[in-house]
Amino acid sequence: MRRLAAVVLLLAAAVAVLGAAQPRADGFVDLFNGKDLTGWINVNTAEDTWKVRDGLLICSGHPIGVMRTARQYENFMLHIEWRHMEPGGNSGVFAWSSARPDPESRLPNGIEIQMLELEWPNLNRRNGVTPPIAYVHGELFGVGGVTVTPDNPRGERSMSIENRCKGKGEWNTYDVVAIDGVMKLAVNGKFVNGISHATQKKGYLCLESEGAEIHFRNIRILELAPGVTRPDQAAPELKGS
């Protein structure tokens, strides 16, 4: 019986290892395996909001909401590629997030890393005025009570200093470096934005569904050494993590 129990434990351990995300040669871990939604938890979207097709993660954009990583991250480097499929499409990634949606907006707190399609300003004119082109992509800002100090202020938000975003149907690459409440964003190979002094600097990563179809691929993360983070600077752990 003892020998059988030992074998069962070894098999269980092997299954756990094989099922877990494995490090790549460059040290990054894939957050999306190209086959299914392993490692992601649907927070408040529909069963068919997120699907996998031809190795891509497809988000329908409906309803508004998020899905989150199974665990939290503090200091990290994130690589993610995305393309909008509709003019003026809206989406993004929430970092250092609680993954607890606000009842009205249906979106959680954290640092939003904005993903807007190039036609967004033309389709969202207010009083005949087109918003600044820098608003289209890569804005960084705190939401849900999380505050930051913007590198390139547009009010409380930080806007990209150069527009490097590609339009509908074309792939864009975001590389994010997040360390001790400081975040820097590179768009298609160049750093163009950043924030500092984030009041929340540990939490979940959330992908956003916000009204338009968007595709994701090559989502991977490299965890860095932790910093000194007080309990009030981290999002609460959720059940099911």
Beta bridge partners of 153: 158
**In the chain, what are the domains?**
24-226 (2.60.120.560)
Please provide the average confidence, as pLDDT, over all residues in the chain: 89
Q: What is the pTM of this model?
A: 0.88
pLDDT of 52-111, one tens digit each? Answer: 999 999 999 999 999 999 999 999 999 999 999 999 999 999 999 999 999 999 999 999
- Please report the pLDDT score of residue 101 as a whole number: 97
Q: Which of 204, 3, 182 is nearest to 107 (CA)?
A: 204
149 torsion bin: left (phi>0), alpha (psi -120 to 50), beta (else):
beta
Does 197 or 133 have the greater pLDDT score?
197
| The pair of three-digit structure tokens given for residue 66, joined into one six-digit string | 């998020």
Q: Give the C-alpha separation, 91 to 215, whole Å.
A: 10
Helix or strand run (H / E) with residue 235: none
- Please report the pLDDT score of residue 130 as a whole number: 67
**CA distance to 22, 129, 136, 144, 168, per residue, from 82 (Å):** 22, 28, 14, 24, 10
What is the Cα Rg of the chain in Å?
Answer: 19
